[in-house]
Structure 1
Amino acid sequence: MKLGMILVLFILLVVVTSIFSGSWYERNPQDGNLSAQGSVGFNIYNQMRAPFAYTLVATELDGDFESPTPTLHEIPPGGGHKNFQVNSDFFKLNEAYVTYQIVSVFREVLGEIEIKMQTKFSSPSTEILEFEIYSPITPVRYNKGNTYVTITN
């Protein structure tokens, strides 16, 4: 075999190994699903503090979440967080959505935020689809990165 052919086969082996290695050890081999698939973790943080310490109440979850699909939940203020695992297929766009109401201590809805978490070619990103505050005196803002969204005041 020529040296060039060996080099091409080695590069192909590295590419195929990198595609399968992330999910191979995480999957249950008895379920028959050993495809090039895994998941990416996304975190939502509630860093709101007194006197405007609001709770994030999930009202809707939809999309390509890893099984089991997460349930509706609340993220308390002052450092609470929630982790989501979104499917990650190398050759497919995967999107998952969560909508939160921003709720006061008196359970008054003050606003809403909808977050899209996506993996495209195993590369994660977040996007804020909706951010609406119903009261002009409610100090709420957000900061986002590829795998996180932090809600602050």
Structure 2
Amino acid sequence: MAADTREDTQTEPYVVPVAPPNANALPQSSGLNTAGGKAKEAGVFDALRSIKPSEFKEVHKKPCVRDALLTGIGGGFGIGCVRAIWGATVWSSCNWAVGSFVFGSFLMYEFCQRRRLLEKAGMKRAVEVIDRKQAEKQKKAEEFRVAKRKAQEEK
């Protein structure tokens, strides 16, 4: 029976796929996955399932997270206390504290990431300068050796 299905598929005419309207667009079943069909879109629950509980134990090891959280905690505590001292309700003070924690943490994280990016670019430039200086030094040393050999050969 498997031979029959193989013969049937070989006798079917070849179908030319219709070109998409845009040259940059891919057809519906372009083979992006192995089945050739449309890929299932990920939802919120799929994203939540991808988070492992062990990742929460190591969040402090990520760069800039510690500074951002400490800044957010301090800012949230400070703003919440100031609001409470000025006579705002407890609920309002807590809302301001949480909001300033989130906002302060976000700003500090972005600031730290930007600072790291600039430091990385600076280090890259420094390495390039050091490599260039080292190449110049080697070139001068080679020229000196060649000149020394010529002087010895002339003697």
TM category, shorter = under 0.3
Answer 1 or 2: which has greater strand percent: 1
Query: Rg bigger for which structure?
Result: 2
Please give the TM-score of this superposition, normalised by the length of structure 1: 0.21
Answer 1 or 2: which has greater helix percent: 2
Highest RCO, 1 vs 2 (Cα 8 Å, sep ≥ 6): 1
